[in-house]
Chains A and B, each alone.
Chain A
Amino acid sequence: MEHTLSLTKQKATRPTMADRLQRWLPKIVMAPTMLVTVVCIYGFMLWTFYLSLTNSRFLPSFNFAGLLQYEKLLDNDRWVTSVTNLGIFGLMFMLIAIVLGVALAILLDQNIRQEGAIRTIYLYPMALSFIVTGTAWKWILNPGLGIEKLMHDWGFTDFQFNWLVSQDMAIYTVVIAAVWQSSGFVMAMFLAGLRGIDSSIIKAAQMDGASMPAIYWKIILPCLRPVFFSAVIITSHIAIKSFDLVTALTAGGPGYSSDLPALFMYAHSFTRGQLGLGAASAMMMLAGVLAILVPYLYSELREKQS
């Protein structure tokens, strides 16, 4: 308030100065955050790219090494494993979380009693840190402590559920934990979307004699297209940046069978003194993010124009 007051006073005396100030004020106000963003995000991105082209080991070095680090990376068994894992984990997590989220949202949309309470119960896992989720599921899935032992204690001695300690299946336990945590959140997004749909369309369809499943399949779900899009973007970025969940749940093990690119990057940059290789893996991850983000931004911008 004081600012505007002083501005108007100035305007009375020297109009040109105030005009100029008014024109520049938004830019000046935005400048610090802009500077921080440009330096700390885009600047460091370029810096990482530069590092990935050097032979940096322990500390950053400036000896240009061409694409050596990328060659090393593609030749690295552990990197190949971690990228494959990201593919398995990312796709399964997104698919299951969205299908489950939509299903829960539709069920919850049937005007049931105590909806608020149920919604909160489903949404609540999202309030936990992935570290907590990982640790809890580590106990639940451990054959000697969790589900398998429980079933054995109940007399089902043939029951086997040892995914957590099996090299082939460990990555799927990560999917289970991530789905458990995130599907409630996806549900909340879709529930909001469902509430936003004009009920007169549904009533009109009902008048025409359409069955409830047909209405959902042909009318409501297509209307939720933008929500699907946001859900994909959000879950995919949860998948790509996933680090804490795996760290707490399997620590990339057994062996490195449930390793993910983020874990690979951290291990090589910060504990193994392979900054160059770590930077190269970070750039590969960035490329993955861009591959999703660019089409999304493109479609968003095109929609706005039309």
Chain B
Amino acid sequence: MKKQRTSAQKQSVFKKSLLAITFAAATSVTHAGEVEVLHWWTSGGEAKSAAVLKQMLENQGDSWKDFAVAGGGGESAMTVLKTRAVSGNPPSAAQIKGHDIQEWGDLGFLTSLDDVAKAGHWDDILPSVVTKVMKYDGDYVAVPVNVHRVNWLWANPEVFKKAGTSVPTNMKEFFAAADKIKAAGFIPLAHGGQPWQDATLFEAVALDVLGSEDYNKAFVDLDMKVLSGPKMVETFATFQRIHNYIDDNSPGRDWNIATNMVIYGEAAMQIMGDWAKGEFAAAGKTPGQDYICAPAPGTANQFTFNIDSFAFFKLSNQDNQVAQKHLAKTILDKDFQEVFNLNKGSIPVRLDMNMDKFDKCALDSMSTFKASAKTGDLVPSMAHGLATTSYVQGAIFDVVTNFFNDRSADPKQAAQQLARAVKAAL
């Protein structure tokens, strides 16, 4: 008995010293500081991507405090963030995008990342349309993670073959093909009737009808003449016509269920951003063979972008400030950009990436992204908050979704309403 106890005691002493040594080692490594990151990447592929970022930071010696708030478009996360920021305890970085970055900048919560940006030559590796969104008052305050193309058409080639038609490249072909598909007994367009999805479809039609220049005038500059003009009336009329090719059960449907209708050959097409690719990939489908990704009708050389980004907050702790800068640098790291975007279905935001591992859809997306950046056809997505503030966006959503669900609505009146609603929200 006695012998045993002494050996146990010896063991515990040994353990303690070992523990002390590891602690010492650990503290010397993690001295760099802690990053707390607010995000809502809580589902499958997204969570995997967040884990990659965490691992890369921990390899650099920083500790990662996860601050994931579940809930779709991050509504609940934003509420939590506001409370934290106002009480003077913001996280190091938060998933904020588009115009909200400017709002937070206006309120004076964001910190400048210019030294990291200069060291990493961000101005050279990122397109200027992107950097404009990431800067507040000339300073970098946010870091882009990826670029999504929103104006995509996802199609099931088998359904097209059965209906004896081909994937449309413009609106005229779209309606002709849709008639044939309908006659063959399939649903031409899979759609989820939620306000943001209605707006996504509306935006694709608007890009085609208005053209890039007027699209920018309408949704970025909020030009009342364009918003209520004849081209906008035409946009609404075309948008209304599309409703004839959507099944009656669409209200309230989630986007991924609509995507599944295309995957399993129930419907022929879906107009949705490239996050839909994740659903096809999860179902084990190969692009070009089992499904086709084409630009939304009539928008082949145009690119509606949606960029996920992290905004960086002012912190008081100096160690944490250093860690924060590490985070900013790591997000634009080539390795992270590759792994993250392969998981998420989007394309890297850096223009100097090696794209070997990406599929055909991503390569198409990347080449259009580069080309459209030069021609001025790279436009911000209204439906995803890149074009305007959340309050103008909300006003547009209300008009668009109400119009789309009222089969007898008048396009002329809708255009007037749109201009009025936007004006009221300013």
Q: Are A255 and B406 in contact (CB under 8 A)?
A: yes
Number of interface residues of B (CB under 8 A): 33
Docked complex: A52-105 residues within 8 A CB-CB of B: 57-59, 72, 75-78
Interface 9-residue window, one of A2-10, A25-33, A270-278, A286-294: A270-278
Q: Are A272 and B402 in contact (CB under 8 A)?
A: no
Within 8 Å CB of A162, what residues of B?
248
Interface 9-residue window, one of A138-146, A180-188, A194-202: A138-146
Residues of A in contact with B (beta carbons under 8 Å apart): 57-59, 72, 75-78, 138, 142-145, 162, 164-165, 167, 170, 250-251, 253-257, 267-268, 270-274
Within 8 Å CB of B390, what residues of A?
271-273
Interface string of B383-406 (1 = CB under 8 A from A): 000000111011000100111111
Closest to A257 in B: B405
Interface 9-residue window, one of B163-171, B249-257, B327-335: B249-257
- A267 to B73 Cα, complex, angstroms: 12
Q: Are B75 and A144 in contact (CB under 8 A)?
A: no
SS class of chain B's interface: helix, strand, loop or mixed?
helix
A267-B405 CB under 8 A given contacts A59-B86, A273-B103: no
- A114 to B150 Cα, complex, angstroms: 60
Within 8 Å CB of B73, what residues of A?
271
Most chain B C-beta atoms within 10 Å of own C-beta, residue among A138, A254, A257: A254
Q: What is the distance, in angstroms, from B79's C-beta to the closest C-beta of chain A? A: 5
Docked complex: B67-101 residues within 8 A CB-CB of A: 73, 75, 78-79, 82, 86, 100
Q: Are B398 and A165 in contact (CB under 8 A)?
A: no
Q: What is the distance, in angstroms, from A77's C-beta to the closest C-beta of chain B? A: 7
B24 proximal to A (CB < 8 A): no
Q: Which of A75, A250, A256 contacts B252 (CB 8 A)?
A: A250
Closest to B390 in A: A273
Within 8 Å CB of A59, what residues of B?
82, 86, 107
Q: Are B107 and A58 in contact (CB under 8 A)?
A: yes
Q: Are B394 and A138 in contact (CB under 8 A)?
A: no
Closest to B395 in A: A272
Within 8 Å CB of B380, what residues of A?
none
- A86 to B86 Cα, complex, angstroms: 34
A253-B405 CB under 8 A given contacts A143-B249, A165-B250: yes
- A109 to B301 Cα, complex, angstroms: 73
A273-B405 CB under 8 A given contacts A58-B107, A72-B424, A144-B249: no
Q: Are A251 and B78 in contact (CB under 8 A)?
A: no
Within 8 Å CB of A77, what residues of B?
398, 402, 417
Told that A253-B194, A270-B79 touch, could you supply 8 new A-B pairs with CB distance under 8 A?
A77-B398, A77-B402, A254-B405, A255-B404, A256-B398, A256-B401, A270-B75, A271-B394
